[in-house]
């Protein structure tokens, strides 16, 4: 627990100190150093809990005499997994921000670093507390600190609009979480997770409608924060607004904490019951809907950060599909449930790495060119080759291309969705639904690859075009975080067995009655087997064996090229004898997949859909009586009249004070006599 305290203390000190430092370089160095200390502490705690398979608990202070609530810090394997993610991403984000913030010349670091540090701290608190009251406190703290980062560029209307949507959507749904907590507290008279687990059994048996309402409120609160459609309508307008380093933490960690909360409440806080199965199916359906709409809408985007924001919606859908299938089968078939839950959690881990990386790639483009519009940049590989390579790795990872890390987690989700249709205990209609879920997920993976090929081709391939500062090279503090995350994409893809064991331990933290790891997976240095049938492997994946021929072929290709010694030369592109300007022949970002984009763009009434996502909404005109409008403006009928009268009174007193000395002394004498008379009267005639 001392490591956890040091981590929190470092982040709080960083937030306080950076509030007074206006120099971006000094503030960035201080934030990076303190975040490194925090990350090392969190990393140590996570590895200790995971390796020893233990639970650390400590009650910091208690309100038992008032509310039956206490700040109970508890770290199990599930919490440790998310602390591990937070430690890695927070360090990469703070280091990237160090020099990156220089791109915002008009904005002060005082409006950025304190809230970034508080966001890191509150995110860690969310996964450590085991009391719903303090969970809400840290949850709300995380929301408020992230809102300040959204409106970092207050001079931009889009930032204010995105911040307003984010503030309203998250706080309205947090009200559902508070309402659910109050209802539960009325039965349990305790805010601890253990007490809630016991009291919810009573609610299920005696008040089924209330039980469903509580689960509905919890569901709404967390899927909205995760950006699941249709509740995540705010996300594409919010995530592109802050600096890309903050967007990286939003997409890589903050949205995943909503998945953590959903998993924690539905798997640990609430007992396993028929309700778990019902809501597991609802979670899976919402996940598939987000996969489809979010990813198709991303394909139509031409701005890099907005494209990635829509993909954040789609990728969270994969996680919910895996978790939803797992919850549905937790009582029917624990084996399938284990594969699905591990797939969903594994995708959380993988997505946190490559989603953070891709937002940092977009930040690098902005730092070099001053824009993230894919129609205005091209050929950046020539001036930022390392960023181009890491962007390609991140793009292939998010698309689930082997042997990168996104493949194995998607494989587990696909396998569990399709294999679940073979279970005889499931209704025939539901079996067909799960097969459809699996097919949609596989198809959308291809769409994801297409949209990120567009991103890589538009930004980094082709001729070098666009306005950029040739002297502004990316500093090492911006390149290193991208290399770290890209390296993790490769390592976790080539050696998934290490991550798989960690994630399975995190799954057992919620359901200790699941099968043993060895009965579900067979792992070795080469890869992973999924044992759907006893003593028979299904869904095997051996990335090492795949990499060997790829490496051999790559060596042969480069060897032939070098042996041939063919000279290279750069010439102007041949346009068939007719002169064209570069703008006429350039293949811009909006040109990619134009026929497909036209196919998925349509209008229903006054609502325009682009990629099945509404981009325009009809304006609603409401006529309100003028008298009612006056009531809504108390400044006109209350504040201004009172203020004017007080102003005149003070002006009269000022004139009196500034008049001749004789008058002033006379008023003092008269006032003193008046006070003496009052004292004489109230004292009963004796002084």
Tell me the pLDDT tens digit for each residue of 539-550.
Answer: 778 888 888 888
CA dist., res. 185 & res. 210, Å (int): 13
Note the pLDDT of residue 498: 87
Whether residue 197 lies inside any domain: the answer is no
Average pLDDT over residues 181-186: 90
The domain total for the chain is 2
Note the pLDDT of residue 198: 84
Note the pLDDT of residue 660: 57
Q: Residue 612 pLDDT > 70, yes or no?
A: yes
Note the pLDDT of residue 58: 87
Whether residue 576 lies inside any domain: the answer is no
Whether residue 422 lies inside any domain: the answer is yes
Q: How confident is the model at residue 608 (pLDDT cuts 50, 70, 90)?
A: confident
User: Considering 557, 584, 604, which residue would you say is the last residue of a domain?
Assistant: 557
Average pLDDT, the chain: 85
Are residues 321 and 419 both part of a single domain? yes
User: Containing domain of residue 653, as a range?
Assistant: 628-682
Q: How confident is the model at residue 395 (pLDDT cuts 50, 70, 90)?
A: very high
User: Considering 507, 534, 557, which residue would you say is the last residue of a domain?
Assistant: 557
CA dist., res. 82 & res. 526, Å (int): 26
Contact 521/528 with Cβ under 8 angstroms?
A: yes
Cα–Cα–Cα angle for 140, 141, 144, nearest 5°? Answer: 85
For the chain, the first-to-last Cα distance in angstroms comes to: 67
CB-based contacts of 640, cutoff 8 Å, min separation 6? none
CA dist., res. 265 & res. 271, Å (int): 9
Most confident of 61-65, 187-191, 313-317, 330-334: 313-317
Q: How confident is the model at residue 13 (pLDDT cuts 50, 70, 90)?
A: very high
Whether residue 331 lies inside any domain: the answer is yes
Are residues 520 and 641 both part of a single domain? no
Are residues 392 and 514 both part of a single domain? yes
Whether residue 495 lies inside any domain: the answer is yes
Are residues 466 and 378 both part of a single domain? yes
Note the pLDDT of residue 145: 94
Contact 588/374 with Cβ under 8 angstroms?
A: yes
The better pLDDT of the pair 154, 260 is held by: 260
Note the pLDDT of residue 268: 80
Whether residue 480 lies inside any domain: the answer is yes
Judged on CB neighbours under 10 Å (0-12, 13-18, 19+), 74 is middle
The dihedral built from the CA positions of residue 540, 545, 547 and 549, taken in this order, carries a sign that is negative
For the chain, percent of residues with pLDDT exceeding 70: 87
Are residues 366 and 450 both part of a single domain? yes
Instruction: Quote the radius of gyration of the chain (alpha carbons, Å).
Output: 30
Whether residue 672 lies inside any domain: the answer is yes
Q: Residue 535 pLDDT > 50, yes or no?
A: no
User: Considering 541, 557, 573, which residue would you say is the last residue of a domain?
Assistant: 557
Note the pLDDT of residue 687: 47
Q: How confident is the model at residue 12 (pLDDT cuts 50, 70, 90)?
A: very high
Q: Residue 351 pLDDT > 90, yes or no?
A: yes
Are residues 535 and 653 both part of a single domain? no
Are residues 309 and 401 both part of a single domain? yes
Q: What is the pTM of this model?
A: 0.86
Note the pLDDT of residue 675: 72
Q: Residue 136 pLDDT > 80, yes or no?
A: yes
Whether residue 522 lies inside any domain: the answer is yes
Are residues 530 and 636 both part of a single domain? no
pLDDT tens-digit map of 626-664: 666 566 666 676 667 777 787 777 677 666 666 555 566
Are residues 544 and 633 both part of a single domain? no
Note the pLDDT of residue 470: 67
Are residues 373 and 512 both part of a single domain? yes
Note the pLDDT of residue 587: 73
Containing 538, the helix (H) or strand (E) segment is strand 536-541
Q: Residue 43 pLDDT > 90, yes or no?
A: yes
Are residues 420 and 553 both part of a single domain? yes
Q: How confident is the model at residue 623 (pLDDT cuts 50, 70, 90)?
A: low
The better pLDDT of the pair 609, 147 is held by: 147
Least Cα distance to 148 among 182, 108, 178, 187 occurs for 108
Q: How confident is the model at residue 295 (pLDDT cuts 50, 70, 90)?
A: very high
CA dist., res. 74 & res. 80, Å (int): 10
Most confident of 226-230, 286-290, 560-564, 606-610: 286-290
Are residues 504 and 362 both part of a single domain? yes
Average pLDDT over residues 214-238: 91
CB-based contacts of 239, cutoff 8 Å, min separation 6? 247, 250, 251, 305, 308, 309, 312
């Amino acid at each position: 627990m001392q490591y956890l305290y040091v981590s929190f203390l470092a982040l709080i000190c960083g937030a306080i100190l950076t509030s007074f430092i206006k120099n971006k370089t000094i503030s960035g160095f201080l934030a990076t150093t303190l975040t490194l200390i925090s990350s090392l502490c969190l990393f140590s705690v996570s590895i200790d809990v995971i390796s020893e398979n233990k639970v650390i608990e400590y009650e910091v202070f208690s309100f038992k005499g008032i509310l039956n609530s206490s700040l109970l810090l508890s770290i199990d394997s599930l919490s440790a997994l998310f602390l591990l993610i937070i430690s890695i991403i927070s360090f990469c984000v703070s280091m990237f921000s160090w020099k990156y913030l220089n791109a915002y010349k008009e904005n002060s670091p005082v409006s950025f670093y304190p809230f970034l540090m508080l966001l890191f701290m509150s995110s860690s608190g969310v996964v450590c507390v085991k009391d719903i009251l303090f969970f809400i406190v840290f949850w709300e703290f995380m929301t408020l600190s992230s809102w300040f980062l959204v409106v970092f560029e207050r001079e931009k209307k889009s930032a204010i609009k995105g911040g307003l949507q984010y503030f309203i959507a998250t706080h309205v749904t947090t009200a559902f979480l508070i309402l659910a907590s109050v209802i539960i507290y009325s039965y349990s008279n305790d805010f601890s997770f253990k007490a809630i687990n016991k009291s919810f059994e009573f609610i299920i048996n005696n008040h089924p409608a209330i039980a469903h309402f509580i689960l509905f409120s919890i569901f709404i609160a967390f899927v909205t924060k995760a950006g699941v459609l249709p509740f995540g309508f705010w996300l594409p307008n919010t995530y592109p607004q802050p600096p890309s380093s903050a967007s990286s933490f939003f997409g890589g960690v903050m949205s995943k904490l909503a998945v953590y909360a959903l998993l924690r409440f539905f798997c640990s806080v609430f007992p396993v019951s028929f309700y778990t199965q019902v809501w597991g199916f609802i979670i899976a359906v919402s996940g598939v809907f987000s996969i489809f709409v979010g990813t198709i809408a991303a394909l139509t985007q031409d701005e890099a950060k907005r494209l990635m924001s829509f993909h954040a919606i789609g990728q969270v859908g994969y996680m919910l599909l895996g978790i939803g299938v797992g919850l549905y089968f937790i009582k029917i078939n624990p084996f399938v449930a284990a594969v699905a839950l591990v797939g969903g959690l594994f995708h959380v881990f993988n997505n946190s790495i490559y989603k953070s990386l891709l937002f940092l790639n977009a930040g690098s483009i902005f730092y070099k060119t001053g824009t993230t519009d894919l129609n205005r940049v091209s050929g950046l590989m020539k001036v930022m080759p390392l960023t181009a390579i890491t962007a390609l790795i991140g793009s292939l990872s998010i698309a689930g291309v082997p042997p990168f890390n996104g493949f194995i987690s998607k494989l587990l989700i696909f396998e569990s969705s399709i294999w679940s249709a073979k279970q005889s205990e499931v209704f025939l209609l539901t079996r067909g639904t799960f097969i459809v879920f699996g097919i949609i997920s596989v198809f959308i993976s291809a769409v994801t690859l297409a949209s990120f090929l567009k991103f890589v081709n538009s930004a980094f391939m082709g001729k070098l075009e666009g306005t950029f500062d040739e002297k502004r090279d990316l500093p090492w503090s911006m390149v290193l975080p991208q290399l770290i995350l890209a390296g993790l994409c490769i390592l976790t893809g080539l050696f998934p067995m290490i991550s798989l064991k960690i994630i399975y331990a995190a799954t057992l933290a919620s359901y200790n009655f699941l099968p043993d790891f060895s009965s579900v997976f067979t792992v070795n240095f080469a890869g992973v087997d999924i044992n759907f049938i006893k003593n028979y492997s299904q869904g095997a994946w051996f990335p090492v064996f795949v990499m060997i021929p790829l490496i051999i072929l790559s060596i042969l290709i480069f060897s032939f090229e070098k042996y041939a010694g063919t000279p290279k030369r750069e010439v102007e592109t041949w346009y068939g004898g007719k002169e064209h300007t570069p703008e006429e022949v350039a293949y811009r970002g909006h040109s990619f997949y134009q026929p497909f984009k036209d196919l998925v763009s349509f209008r229903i009434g006054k609502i325009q859909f682009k990629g099945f996502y509404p981009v325009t909404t009809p304006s609603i005109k409401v006529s309100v009586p003028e008298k009612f409008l006056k009531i809504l403006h108390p400044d006109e009928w209350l504040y201004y009249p009172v203020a004017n009268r007080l102003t005149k009174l003070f002006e009269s007193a000022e004139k009196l004070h500034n008049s001749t000395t004789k008058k002033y002394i006379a008023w003092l004498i008269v006032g003193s006599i008046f006070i003496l008379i009052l004292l004489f009267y109230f004292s009963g005639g004796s002084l």
